[in-house]
Chains A and B, each alone.
Chain A
Amino acid sequence: MNAPVKLQERFHQVQLEPKDYRDGVASFWCPGCGHNGVLTSFLRALSDIGIDPQNLMSISGIGCSSRLPYFVKSYKMHTLHGRAGPVATGAQLARPDLSVVVTGGDGDGFSIGGGHMPHMARKNVNMTYILMDNHIYGLTKGQTSPTSQLAMKGTVTPFGSVEEPLDPIMYMLAYGATYVAQAFSGNVKLASQLIKDGMEHKGFAFINLLSQCPTFNEIDTAKTFKSACEVMDTSHDITDLNAAMQVVQKARQEGRLASGLLYKVERSTLDDRMAELVTRVGGHKDYDLRKVIDLSRP
């Protein structure tokens, strides 16, 4: 496998404008969709970080949000519903010298792909996961998602949802993500800063961007997301897990959503540990296989 490289070798290599990272494909999102804000923020973060597009792998699953890689210059994969995370894990371990960013929705990440989330977090896979959280299934035209509010009406819940939503931030904090942040996607200044910091963070960076669906979600509008994320929750010690959880809980109790960089710690990444393991056993690609085969002589 390629040896991990230092971040400074990957970043600040080129000076490109945000628009230079925009692939030619026209966006297919509805007018007023919060995902446009995510795209703008992402492009700005890429420009700020100065990454050569060919050193970026942009990977997604299925959903409105998962179309994002088509709009960004990079190496990219558009995979299956829920599977962007493990695909990206494989790609990252194979090429730790490249940056890996996953973009996906709340259904993609926390419903069908929910089984993968804890493992990327606890293994500290060195990548950035941008969750474009609109509290709804948009591509299938309006069903409740794991982050939809209780009693929300969807096409399969005409009498209102009877399920409690999960909190992506609490989830990620609990499972050991080493960088956890949240913002409103319309706040491009903050969102782009959080994405940039997330990409510079060595480890699993999870960024939840509240992103309105003006077509199918009448409850969670740009206005409500904007106001819920207005107050920055950054006065706590961001290396203190309990403090971060308390901030998130407190904001909820106040009817807000905790915003900003909420938690960040350094921990050895999966690819680093894999590389250490190879070093420990003296591994190299020219290791003589006969030594292995000889072990099976009778």
Chain B
Amino acid sequence: MQDKTKHDLIIRVGGEGGEGVISVGDFITQACARVGLDVYTFKTFPAEIKGGYAMYQVRASTEAVYNQGDIFDVLCAFNGEAYDMNKANLKAGHALVYDCPGDFEPEIPAGVFAYPIPMTQTAKELNNPRAKNMVAMGALSVLFNIPEASLREVIETKFKRRGDAVVQGNLTAFERGQELARALKKTDPWAIGVPKADAKRDVIVMSGNNAIGLGALIAGVEFFSAYPITPATEVAIYVSKHLPKRGGTLIQAEDEIASISQVLGASYAGKKAMTSTSGPGLSLMSEMLGMSFMSETPCVVVDVQRGGPSTGMPTKHEQSDLFLAIHGGHGDCGRIVLSVENVHDCVGLTVTAFNLAEKYQCPVLLLSDGSLAFSTQSIPYPNPDDYKIVDRLRWDGKGEFKRYALTESGISPMVDPGTPNGMHIATGLEHGESGMPSYSGENHETMQAKRFNKLKTVASDMPPAEVDGDGAADLGVIAWGSTIGVVREALQRLRAEGYKVKGFYPKLLHPLPAQQFEDFGASCKRTLLPEVNYLGQLAHFVRAETSLRPESYTICGGMPFTPEMIVKRVKEMLA
């Protein structure tokens, strides 16, 4: 087992969907964030509408947490299925808290610290069978030092609107769980660390999907259209709650083609507009992305990637839409593609996506992924005033308006419908400066150059890709999306063991900032590129557009990498 210090603890709670597994995870997460611990959660939902195995894993630390971790330190099993699903990973040194008497009798592996807690029975004795999860949470709080006062506050806050009796019923069950745990002798070494005195407590806790919605609100989204699709639907759900408060419009379209079409219509009409989807939906949108590029109509498209192709593994994690995001569409079609590492990015890069779409009048795709979609993380409170907001260049009303005027930057002023003397056509046909169709070869070459040339400065509008580590390295690891957080931790561990390793974390994936890759590659003897897809999609582009020849490390088992997997591969390469 990896050498862990006490500052960092991973608790996994598993049980039947509907038993309150998700609530326990949420409560522990909120309580830890309240006291200033950094939290990063990982969950799997049952595919069933009701019932089925549900799992919620909380990682809480006094230090920054970048990923979900390798495996749990503590397993809390509400039922036999939860135990069975996880027993292969239950190893010497781990702690197991389980329902006893319950529907199962675990064989406790040697070296596992086991704590039987009568969760079901106690809740029944209290005439409150639904509070089984509170009994478990009480026990966990005592056994692993989860901040008790904070947990009580969270319980009170969450159940307040259901009345005092409900609050009291849950607190009673929580306290019973605590008593049961106190009666047991603690034998394991695990405990959540005490937050540092200067720990940041001005935080919010959000999922990746909600954070994208928040980023859109900060960016000033005015129109949002989407079609339901796992795992992206929560973006629309979040925005639907809050956009009307800002006077904006959210519509559920009849399909993804209609969503992106409505977005383009609203954008042409002068509004900041976006849609969110997953891979299958993005496939359907690809023709309209071409229209967006050709007609120079800004749009933001969020793709929360899932396992593909076809219907694939809709609830599972994958980073496999990069080919589609960059090249999906017919003809030579440009766009900007960004990818997010974590919840913090989901806010900030969504704002960036809007800014770039407005500035460059083209489609901007923001790639998130299945594990980040539902992962809740604590992030510093985002002050809306701290974000730079860019609006499209609008015509000043002077002279004759030419929608596609050839300018030095390639960016032509836009005009909102209803403006005097600004009438024009936005068209998907090749056109001259005024918008009128023109099929001459010379004109097509001129206009394609205009549309592509303007994208040449995109890299300069963003901070350069982060380089993790200094000096010359024996191995450089390039990562994108939520894999970055895994690599960060792996490199910390490797450096602690004396390995000379560096990381490179691009967030702008297209147009690829090739020179930044070259500079990074020049400082590394070899490079490795782990990504969660079969084909090694980013590695393909890096090989095609730079002189780097990264070794691909691909997995597609529906789960993210763990730090230990990266550590192992790096050690093998450097052996």
- Chain A interface residues toward B at CB < 8 A: 1, 25, 53-55, 57, 59, 69-70, 73-80, 83, 85-95, 97-98, 115-116, 118-119, 270, 274, 277-278, 281-285, 287, 289-293, 296-298
Task: Enumerate chain A residues within 8 angstroms of B291, measured Cβ to Cβ.
Answer: 79-80, 83
- A150 to B154 alpha-carbon distance, docked (Å): 69
Contact call A78/B381, Cβ cutoff below 8 A: no
- A80 to B427 alpha-carbon distance, docked (Å): 9
Contact call A91/B288, Cβ cutoff below 8 A: no
Task: Enumerate chain A residues within 8 angstroms of B178, measured Cβ to Cβ.
Answer: none
Contact call A274/B29, Cβ cutoff below 8 A: no
Task: Enumerate chain B residues within 8 angstroms of A80, measured Cβ to Cβ.
Answer: 261, 287-288, 291, 428
Q: Which listed residue (B246, B263, B295) contacts A285, Cβ 8 A?
A: B246
Task: Enumerate chain B residues within 8 angstroms of A292, measured Cβ to Cβ.
Answer: 214, 217, 242, 245
Contact call B204/A297, Cβ cutoff below 8 A: yes
Q: Which listed residue (A1, A87, A298) contacts B261, Cβ 8 A?
A: A87
Q: Which residues between 278 and 301 of chain B lie within 8 Å of chain A, taking CB atoms?
A: 287-288, 291, 295
Measured CB to CB, the nearest residue on chain B to A277 is: B244
Contact call B417/A115, Cβ cutoff below 8 A: no
Contact call B258/A281, Cβ cutoff below 8 A: no
- A283 to B246 alpha-carbon distance, docked (Å): 5
Give A21 Cβ to nearest chain B Cβ, in Å: 11
- Interface residue total, chain B, C-beta cutoff 8 A: 67
Given contact pairs A57-B269, A283-B245, A292-B245, A76 touches B426 in the complex (Cβ within 8 A): yes
Q: Which listed residue (B154, B205, B269, B436) contacts A296, Cβ 8 A?
A: B205
Contact call B425/A86, Cβ cutoff below 8 A: no
Task: Enumerate chain A residues within 8 angstroms of B261, measured Cβ to Cβ.
Answer: 79-80, 83, 85-87, 89-90
> Does residue B80 face the partner (Cβ distance < 8 Å to A)?
no
Contact call B257/A54, Cβ cutoff below 8 A: no
Known interface pairs A53-B423, A293-B214; 5 further A-B residue pairs with C-beta atoms within 8 A, sorted by A's residue number: A87-B264, A88-B265, A94-B269, A291-B245, A298-B33
Contact call A90/B254, Cβ cutoff below 8 A: no
Leading 3 A-B pairs by shortest Cβ distance:
A90-B265, A90-B262, A86-B261
- A13 to B282 alpha-carbon distance, docked (Å): 43
- A198 to B254 alpha-carbon distance, docked (Å): 24
Q: Which residues between 129 and 176 of chain B lie within 8 Å of chain A, taking CB atoms?
A: 154
Given contact pairs A1-B271, A285-B247, A293-B381, A298 touches B30 in the complex (Cβ within 8 A): yes
Task: Enumerate chain A residues within 8 angstroms of B532, measured Cβ to Cβ.
Answer: none
- A93 to B253 alpha-carbon distance, docked (Å): 13
Task: Enumerate chain B residues within 8 angstroms of A289, measured Cβ to Cβ.
Answer: 217-218, 246, 384
Measured CB to CB, the nearest residue on chain A to B417 is: A75
Contact call B225/A90, Cβ cutoff below 8 A: yes
Contact call B417/A293, Cβ cutoff below 8 A: no
Contact call A95/B254, Cβ cutoff below 8 A: no
- A182 to B203 alpha-carbon distance, docked (Å): 61
> Does residue B422 face the partner (Cβ distance < 8 Å to A)?
yes
Contact call B422/A54, Cβ cutoff below 8 A: yes
Residues 185-197 of B, flagged 1 when their CB comes within 8 A of A and 0 if not, give 0000000000000
Contact call B254/A116, Cβ cutoff below 8 A: yes
- Chain B interface residues toward A at CB < 8 A: 29-31, 33-34, 154, 203-206, 210, 214, 217-218, 222-223, 225, 242, 244-249, 251, 253-255, 257-259, 261-271, 273, 287-288, 291, 295, 378, 381-382, 384, 416-429, 436-437
Task: Enumerate chain A residues within 8 angstroms of B262, measured Cβ to Cβ.
Answer: 86-87, 89-90, 93
Q: Which listed residue (A77, A118, A281, A297) contacts B268, Cβ 8 A?
A: A77
Contact call B247/A278, Cβ cutoff below 8 A: yes
Measured CB to CB, the nearest residue on chain A to B242 is: A292
- A75 to B424 alpha-carbon distance, docked (Å): 5
Task: Enumerate chain B residues within 8 angstroms of A83, measured Cβ to Cβ.
Answer: 257-258, 261, 288, 291
Task: Enumerate chain B residues within 8 angstroms of A95, measured Cβ to Cβ.
Answer: 269-270, 416-418
Contact call B247/A78, Cβ cutoff below 8 A: no
- A93 to B249 alpha-carbon distance, docked (Å): 8
Contact call A283/B254, Cβ cutoff below 8 A: no
- A267 to B34 alpha-carbon distance, docked (Å): 50
Contact call A293/B204, Cβ cutoff below 8 A: yes
Given contact pairs A70-B425, A75-B418, A119-B258, A94 touches B384 in the complex (Cβ within 8 A): no
- A87 to B378 alpha-carbon distance, docked (Å): 38
Contact call A79/B420, Cβ cutoff below 8 A: no
Q: Which listed residue (A69, A90, A293) contacts B273, Cβ 8 A?
A: A90
- A287 to B246 alpha-carbon distance, docked (Å): 5
Task: Enumerate chain B residues within 8 angstroms of A59, measured Cβ to Cβ.
Answer: 265
Contact call A284/B29, Cβ cutoff below 8 A: no
Measured CB to CB, the nearest residue on chain A to B250 is: A274
What are 14 A-B interface contacts by the 8 Å CB criterion?
Answer: A77-B268, A78-B428, A79-B264, A86-B262, A87-B261, A91-B266, A94-B265, A94-B267, A95-B416, A97-B418, A115-B254, A289-B218, A298-B29, A298-B203
Task: Enumerate chain A residues within 8 angstroms of B203, measured Cβ to Cβ.
Answer: 297-298
Contact call B425/A69, Cβ cutoff below 8 A: yes
- A73 to B267 alpha-carbon distance, docked (Å): 20
Contact call A90/B263, Cβ cutoff below 8 A: yes
Task: Enumerate chain A residues within 8 angstroms of B31, measured Cβ to Cβ.
Answer: 298
- A198 to B123 alpha-carbon distance, docked (Å): 65
Contact call B428/A90, Cβ cutoff below 8 A: no
Task: Enumerate chain B residues within 8 angstroms of A298, measured Cβ to Cβ.
Answer: 29-31, 33-34, 154, 203-205, 378
Contact call A91/B247, Cβ cutoff below 8 A: no
Give A169 Cβ to nearest chain B Cβ, in Å: 21
Task: Enumerate chain A residues within 8 angstroms of B287, measured Cβ to Cβ.
Answer: 80
Task: Enumerate chain A residues within 8 angstroms of B271, measured Cβ to Cβ.
Answer: 1, 94
Given contact pairs A86-B258, A87-B264, A289-B217, A74 touches B423 in the complex (Cβ within 8 A): yes
- A3 to B222 alpha-carbon distance, docked (Å): 13
Task: Enumerate chain A residues within 8 angstroms of B429, measured Cβ to Cβ.
Answer: 78
- A76 to B384 alpha-carbon distance, docked (Å): 35
Given contact pairs A90-B269, A90-B273, A1 touches B264 in the complex (Cβ within 8 A): no
- A1 to B254 alpha-carbon distance, docked (Å): 22
Task: Enumerate chain A residues within 8 angstroms of B246, measured Cβ to Cβ.
Answer: 283-285, 287, 289
Give A77 Cβ to nearest chain B Cβ, in Å: 5
Best-buried of A92, A289, A290 by chain B (most CB within 10 Å): A289
Contact call A57/B245, Cβ cutoff below 8 A: no
- A85 to B259 alpha-carbon distance, docked (Å): 11
- A91 to B295 alpha-carbon distance, docked (Å): 15
Contact call A78/B427, Cβ cutoff below 8 A: yes
- A164 to B573 alpha-carbon distance, docked (Å): 66
Task: Enumerate chain B residues within 8 angstroms of A293, measured Cβ to Cβ.
Answer: 204, 214, 381-382, 384
Give B347 Cβ to nearest chain A Cβ, in Å: 9
- A155 to B143 alpha-carbon distance, docked (Å): 78
